[in-house]
């Protein structure tokens, strides 16, 4: 594996963004950010304290009043300008993301385009916030329904999509009229700190109030969020991350009755009916499994295939997985980057090892490579026992499990046999079967003959232990709005 010099953009910010200003941590503390492909430190970043968070909330509260004076059209213009500047700097964003998170540069470029699209989409939604006017049924007056910004928002994001997981929250919040404090994952704070530079430029250019967005990387997320959530001026927590942390935040949010949006874990099934088009299935299987190296909440974890085509599917998926090229994300040939940390890699290895020990077989992969970085190979497992942990936990890595069914209902039952309900995929060439799959796979999102389903114009989110709330679509802005009823004569 060749490892190009990981060169971050010159002058990349590493201090906190308290509104428009870069400041060191009030404690002076810093932490290191590693390149997961080498394990080497690439940057040292300010480690925010609860005092920094308190200052950010003061600034957010002050900014909200001034931001409310911006008309929907003016807010839309600000978001559009952010979209333009991010697009101009897309290569800086993509390289930064690859270096701190590991994904291949081509995928990082894809995330920049996708993540940035939320600014454009919500620039368009800012001017379409709905209302309603009706005559009261009794004829004794009128009903006016409008929407108002919920207030300051805390946005907590994971490391797997360092830009998009935050822009899905920041863009609708700003469009709705809310200030935001962003707490990026400490593994990948650099992409967000770079976005802070874009905010500083655009906000200064367009006279946006200072304090509207603050960005606070910290190694003590629990202390920071607890402190902010105890302050009644904070009105919402939007969280993307693991289900246990989501549950804890919902409990904490109860004390001040905060709005919450919870985008949590998944365990997506990928159901392949006997009549599916296998060429399409393989293309989509690789998208659904290997995008982001499998480190995606909507990654296909469980391939459930009709027994009559299982052998051919297994052979072809194995071949496609064998063609994957692991390496440093900056190397143009790479199609699979490292896992984010040694701990995550070891977790994946333990799930695979336990399945193998229980009788599963690997048709490819399954053994840890030597060398630097946190790499795990593209792996396909067959004959996995039904009670193996790997079928019930989120894998979050480049491992596909294949199990078979003999009737479609059996396949659907197995697909739904999970506490999660984020995404499901179904494949068939029969329109009735397609509709049957769409209606019977239990998830917030169902892809029919599609392996890539994320779209800023569509409502992204889950059911059951995958959480609640939606990001994107016209639904996404509702999460940042309170309904207000005005009774009129
Ligand atoms: P994580 O829950 O460990 O961390 C997510 C974020 O929460 C990070 O910023 C972290 O610093 C912060 N955090 C951790 N403990 C906290 C606490 N006690 N209080 C407040 N904040 C805390 O998750 P992760 O390992 O970074 O991300 C992977 C998880 O995210 C997976 O389960 C994945 O499915 C999920 N995810 C979900 C979606 C979705 O849209 N549903 C998208 C991407 C990732």
Instruction: Tell whether ligand 1 has an atom less than 6 A from the beta carbon of residue 298.
Output: no
pLDDT at residue 4, as a whole number:
64
Residue with tokens 């916030």: 129
Question: Do 308 and 239 share a domain, yes or no?
Answer: no
Residue closest via CA to ligand 1's atom 26 equals 158
pLDDT at residue 160, as a whole number:
98
Phi, psi torsion values for 178, nearest 5 degrees: -105, 140
* H/E stretch holding 361: strand 361-364
Please tell me the distance from the alpha carbon of residue 17 to that of residue 21, in angstroms, as a whole number: 6
Ranges of the chain with pLDDT below 50: none
Question: Do 360 and 439 share a domain, yes or no?
Answer: yes
Question: Do 290 and 398 share a domain, yes or no?
Answer: yes
> How much distance in Å is there from the Cα of 312 to the middle of ligand 1?
37
Question: Do 357 and 280 share a domain, yes or no?
Answer: yes
Is 0.75 surpassed by the pTM of this model?
yes
pLDDT at residue 3, as a whole number:
60
Question: Do 205 and 123 share a domain, yes or no?
Answer: yes
> How much distance in Å is there from the Cα of 251 to the middle of ligand 1?
16
Instruction: Tell whether ligand 1 has an atom less than 6 A from the beta carbon of residue 378.
Output: no
> How much distance in Å is there from the Cα of 157 to the middle of ligand 1?
6
Instruction: Tell whether ligand 1 has an atom less than 6 A from the beta carbon of residue 192.
Output: no
Please tell me the distance from the alpha carbon of residue 420 to that of residue 245, in angstroms, as a whole number: 15
Question: Do 230 and 156 share a domain, yes or no?
Answer: yes
Catalytic one of 125, 263, 295, 479 = 263
Question: Do 255 and 310 share a domain, yes or no?
Answer: no
CATH code for position 423: 3.40.309.10
Question: Do 56 and 185 share a domain, yes or no?
Answer: yes
Residue closest via CA to ligand 1's atom 21 equals 221
CA angle 436–263–108, rounded 5-degree value: 95
Q: Domain containing 64: what range?
A: 16-264+466-488
Choose the residue to mutate in 118, 158, 456 for probing ligand 1, maximizing ligand atoms within 8 Å of C-beta.
158
Question: Do 291 and 170 share a domain, yes or no?
Answer: no
pLDDT at residue 5, as a whole number:
75
Q: Give how far Cα 98 sits from Cα of 176, 292, 400, Å.
A: 31, 11, 24
Do the domain assignments include residue 399? yes
CA dihedral 133, 138, 141, 142 (to 10 degrees): -10
* Residue 178 annotated in active site: no
> How much distance in Å is there from the Cα of 2 to the middle of ligand 1?
31
* Residue 284 annotated in active site: no
Residue closest via CA to ligand 1's atom 28 equals 241
Question: Do 244 and 276 share a domain, yes or no?
Answer: no
Do the domain assignments include residue 72? yes
Question: Do 86 and 174 share a domain, yes or no?
Answer: yes
Do the domain assignments include residue 3? no
DSSP line for 167-235: HHHHHHHHHHT--EEEE--TTS-HHHHHHHHHHHHHHHHHTPPTTSEEE---S-HHHHHHHHHTSTT--
278: which 2 tokens?
């296998």
Choose the residue to mutate in 193, 241, 344 for probing ligand 1, maximizing ligand atoms within 8 Å of C-beta.
241
The atom of ligand 1 lying closest to the CA of 241 is 30
Please state the separation of Cα 295 from the chain's center in Å: 10
Question: Do 472 and 443 share a domain, yes or no?
Answer: no
Do the domain assignments include residue 22? yes
Share of the chain above pLDDT 90, in %: 99
């Amino acid at each position: 594996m060749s490892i190009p010099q990981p060169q971050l953009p010159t002058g990349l910010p590493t201090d906190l963004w308290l509104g428009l200003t870069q400041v060191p941590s009030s404690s002076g503390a810093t932490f290191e950010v590693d390149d997961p492909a080498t394990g080497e430190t690439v940057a040292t970043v300010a480690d925010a304290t609860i005092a920094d968070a308190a200052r950010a909330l003061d600034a957010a509260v002050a900014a909200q009043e001034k931001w409310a004076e911006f008309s929907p059209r003016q807010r839309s213009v600000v978001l559009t300008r952010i979209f333009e500047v991010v697009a101009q700097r897309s290569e800086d964003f993509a390289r930064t993301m690859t270096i701190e998170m590991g994904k291949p540069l081509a995928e990082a470029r894809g995330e920049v385009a996708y993540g940035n699209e939320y600014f454009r989409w919500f620039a368009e939604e800012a001017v379409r916030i709905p209302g309603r006017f009706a005559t009261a049924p009794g004829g004794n007056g009128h009903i006016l329904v409008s929407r108002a910004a919920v207030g300051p928002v805390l946005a907590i994001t994971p490391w797997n999509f360092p830009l998009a997981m935050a822009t899905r929250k920041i863009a609708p919040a700003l469009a709705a009229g809310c200030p935001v404090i962003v707490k990026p994952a400490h593994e990948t704070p650099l992409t967000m700190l770079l976005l802070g530079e874009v905010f500083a430029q655009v906000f200064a250019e367009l006279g946006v109030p200072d304090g509207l967005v603050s960005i606070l990387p910290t190694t003590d997320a629990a202390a920071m969020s607890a402190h902010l959530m105890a302050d009644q001026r904070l009105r919402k927590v939007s969280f993307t991350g693991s289900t246990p942390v989501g549950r804890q935040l919902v409990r904490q949010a109860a004390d001040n009755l905060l709005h919450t949006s919870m985008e949590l874990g998944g365990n997506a099934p990928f159901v392949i009916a006997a009549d599916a088009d296998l060429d399409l299935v393989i293309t989509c299987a690789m998208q659904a499994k290997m995008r982001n190296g499998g480190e995606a909440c909507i990654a296909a974890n469980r391939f459930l295939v009709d027994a009559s085509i299982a052998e051919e599917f297994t052979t072809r998926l194995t071949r496609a997985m064998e063609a994957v090229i692991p390496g440093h994300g900056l190397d143009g040939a790479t199609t699979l980057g490292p896992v984010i940390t040694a701990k995550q890699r070891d977790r994946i290895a333990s799930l695979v090892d336990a399945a193998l020990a229980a009788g599963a077989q690997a048709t490819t992969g399954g053994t840890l490579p030597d060398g630097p970085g946190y790499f795990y190979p593209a792996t396909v497992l067959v004959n996995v026992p039904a009670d193996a942990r790997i079928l019930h936990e989120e894998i979050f890595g480049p491992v596909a499990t294949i199990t078979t069914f003999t009737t479609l209902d059996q396949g659907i039952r197995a697909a739904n046999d999970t506490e999660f309900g984020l995404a499901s995929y179904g494949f068939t060439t029969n329109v009735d079967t397609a509709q049957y799959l769409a209606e019977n796979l239990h998830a917030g999102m169902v892809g029919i003959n599609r392996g890539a389903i994320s779209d800023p114009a569509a409502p992204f989110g889950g059911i059951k232990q995958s959480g609640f709330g939606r990001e994107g679509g016209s639904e996404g802005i509702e999460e940042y709005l309170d309904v207000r009823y005005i009774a009129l004569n």
